[in-house]
Chain A
């Protein structure tokens, strides 16, 4: 299993992501944003978290113009699996590889804490190791995590089972930290090969750090 991880100027979770996947036994490679193609043996492409280009404009708005993004779009279109975490999710929505957009958090503050999420749909490779309704504890750390999609788009997401995760309390009751539409924390595309979420599963791989619930999420990609 080969995981390629994108690195834009300002990305800061690429090494965490690498560490997490290597812990699961994967080969990994960091791919510089100026690369014009992805490693040919890529089984999973991760767009890691951070502040690409400082996020001084809109989060992910500049990164989508990086040379590597053409290759990412082609890879996704041909069915390649793509996972965007935090800033990676923002980049993928900006690049229109995922529906919706991420706005500034409702309270306008950056939020960093462990947060519970409820699995909404496990009929995909990412969450197949979990059951619908399972509650996992995963760190969030974002300023622009307020997911927005219009009503029509939301209906489509629901109809196609594209809503992956919602923010909840530990009992699975909706608890919305950032104002996201319908408390949505993660979505996928219609074809279910491109995934994006604001929470950081790569930060929840070891009990010593507060949670190991991210293992079951990332492991889904290992068995295709």
Chain B
């Protein structure tokens, strides 16, 4: 195994390895690598698996709190939610595959994140997604293609999640030209487990068997991790074979079989085969325990003939797991998987050599030391540079543009694709299976499920205002954490932890790398200030096509607990005659606002400062007032300001409102100052509510009810508002059908 591979330069290029990497590999092995070994290093050192560009910036994330059971580094993070129950959750991207093949790309993204959660021993109970598309409004090829992607991604997510019987209960969808060549599909799954029955991805105990379970291996997704570690060009359509094909039925069987297996005491460790398939799962499991491993690749169940050891190690066929079991339990385990019509085979065992030894019909075809592959993976300190555009846009204000009447602006914003109801998307997702869904997509702000086992409720929300991240990468990262937490708090739940999905452009561009570093700083700051640690996540770089990078998009999903599942606070108007309050300070702040984008046509300005103390005071107020049953509904004022928040609350409830808020400039009804919320209070509770304010800025702005929405000098009939709000999305997305 010590001869140099023929045409080594081409091989290295195909595997996206540098000469430097090659030298390093030879040093680790003490000889020339063969093709299988080159493939292993290529996968493990891909950006996707090694985090080589991002690692240096991910250090220092707050990751612990008394309620954190498992932070980053496992398949998913785990928090304690009381009474012996734990919530297991994570968010992941499937951006590149979804752009190449929207249905399968999105579907397998959902399948992958669910495996990450159930491999920890948890039954998945809720899905969210955060989707970013390009411009869907025009009559050109780009918009037409984007509309096709919206339809395909939606169907893919639904097709997989629905079949799995896991409700998709909410999410976020937004649109911007920067995603024209590179859409983002981020999928989140939350599962429930007993807090003392969590399973980890480890392989230990010399002689313990290593089993392969689930679907058979084919050549699909070969090199997927390497593909997603590169930018797109016009030729990327030829990458379609690198996109995996999902089979949710098999995954459903795998889920049930694994949960049945977890009730036994046979399992030492288990991990799903996601990106880089058998390679990453085996190396990570052995690596976590400092073990070695032998695997006989000819024992791996195969879907196709003539597959090679290289194919087996790098295939990204879906719906597969690798598990390490107690010696002697093999037959019982195989019986469980046979019941569910799944393959299960003993393919190897744990050793104490510290090496991964791969065999093919008895002949050793690769031997790689486990630790160095992950420990010595390249860690890059890529050059960074503050982008010049920041100076060009920072002083822009809405006064630089011709004034538009508020009425006209309101009419336009209530039809904005970012604002309007997305029922076209979320009614394609089964949102109610498992009979736990208390608040779901379309009901504004966080989504909520109840926990049958302990009487509590879990609130969750995925958010990121990408315009904020463009004008201020650090502030935008922080704002995403803040908004996600605020949405959770608006349901009466205490935000406890986050998972992040950091989608950025090409890390080889110093300006992108700077955006990434700044985004991380913002997230760290906000997580520390709000005590919502990061318990897991994912980095997706190279979101760039033909040299255009996407806006920095750190999607954040916060999870919180409400102690009483019968006291979940809604976000839409509840009853005519109730009073409306605006909590928090409103200023003429339009940096990165929806108003500036839709009315002025630019993404520019200065991001409002975040005052964490005021933010936490707002959360406390809503959570405590809700505990005292003083609130009827609460919704944060974010994109589009108070006016658009009220419009959404009215449209979704069918109740109008009559509001007059104090402003410096009449356009301030659309301003986006942070840390604000609208709450609805019954007249008889007004006094008790006001007594809780404790110095927080708060203005009584009006009442619920009537056939119109009136906000200062803006008026719209409920009929027009509801038509704009509920029918625009379908009109746009289905116009080509």
Interface residues of A (CB under 8 A from B): 9-10, 12-13, 15-16, 19-20, 49-51, 53-56, 109-113, 139, 141, 143, 200, 202-203, 205-206, 208-210
Interface residues of B (CB under 8 A from A): 155, 158-159, 162-165, 247-250, 252-253, 340-341, 423, 426-438, 450, 452, 565-566, 568
The reply to whether A202 and B435 contact each other, CB–CB distance below 8 Å, is yes
Query: A208, B566: Cβ atoms under 8 Å?
Result: yes
Q: Which 10 residue pairs are nearest across A and B when measured between Cβ atoms?
A: A12-B165, A54-B249, A141-B430, A51-B163, A16-B435, A112-B430, A110-B428, A139-B432, A203-B432, A110-B158
A90, chain B: closest CB distance, angstroms: 14
Q: Which residues of A contact B429 (CB under 8 A)?
A: 110, 112
B-side contacts of A49, CB under 8 Å: 433
Known: A12-B164, A141-B432. Is A113-B253 also a contact (CB below 8 A)? Answer: no
Q: In the complex, how many angstroms separate the beta carbon of B701 from the nearest chain A beta carbon?
A: 29
**Is the CB–CB distance between A112 and B427 below 8 Å?**
yes
Q: Is the CB of A9 within 8 A of B433?
A: no
Closest partner residue, chain B, to A12 (CB atom): B165
Closest chain A residue to B435 by CB distance? Answer: A16
CB distance from B228 to the nearest CB of A (A): 27
Q: By the criterion CB–CB under 8 Å, are A54 and B163 in contact?
A: yes
Q: In angstroms, how far is the closest chain B Cβ from the Cβ of A145? A: 12
Q: How far is the CA of A143 from the CA of B434 in the complex (A)?
A: 18
In the assembly, what is the distance between CA of A189 and CA of B341, in Å? 34
Task: Output the nearest chain B residue to A9 by Cβ-Cβ distance.
Answer: B253
Q: Are A10 and B431 in contact (CB under 8 A)?
A: no
**In the bound complex, do residue A16 and residue B434 qualify as a contact, i.e. CB atoms below 8 Å apart?**
yes
Cα distance, A13 to B164, chains bound together (Å): 10
Nearest residue (CB) in B for A50 is B165
Query: Which of these, A9, A55, A111, A208, contacts B427 with CB under 8 Å?
Result: A111
Q: Which residues of the partner chain A approach B566 to less than 8 Å between Cβ atoms?
A: 208
Write 11 A-B pairs (CB below 8 A) sorted by A numbering. Answer: A9-B249, A9-B340, A12-B252, A16-B434, A54-B248, A54-B249, A109-B155, A110-B428, A111-B427, A141-B430, A203-B435
* Contact with A209, one of B249, B250, B423, B435 (Cβ below 8 angstroms): B435
Asked whether, in the complex, the Cβ of B252 is within 8 Å of the Cβ of A10, the reply is: yes
Residues of B within 8 A of A9 (CB): 249, 252-253, 340-341
Q: A13-B165, A109-B428 are in contact. Are A208 and B450 (CB under 8 A)?
A: yes
Question: Could you say which residues of chain A place their CB within 8 Å of the CB of B438?
Answer: 208-209
Q: Do B162 and A208 touch across chains, with their CB atoms under 8 A apart? A: no
**Chain B contacts for A206, CB-based, 8 A:** 435
Residue in A closest to B439 when the chains form the complex, CB atoms:
A210
Closest to B341 in A: A9
CA distance A209 to B450 in the complex (A): 9
B512 to chain A, nearest CB (A): 37
B626 to chain A, nearest CB (A): 15
**Cβ-defined contact, B435 with A54, below 8 A:** no
Q: Are A209 and B437 in contact (CB under 8 A)?
A: yes
B458 to chain A, nearest CB (A): 14
Alpha-carbon gap, A205 to B437, bound state (A): 12
How many Å from the CB of A168 to the closest CB on chain B? Answer: 18
User: Do B428 and A141 touch (CB < 8 A)?
Assistant: no
How far, in Å, is B259 (CB) from chain A's closest CB?
11
B-chain residues with CB within 8 Å of residue A111 when the two chains form the complex: 427-428
> Could you say which residues of chain A place their CB within 8 Å of the CB of B253?
9-10
Within the complex, the shortest CB–CB distance from A192 to chain B, in Å, comes to 28
Tell me, in angstroms, the Cα distance from A210 to B155 when the chains sit together: 25
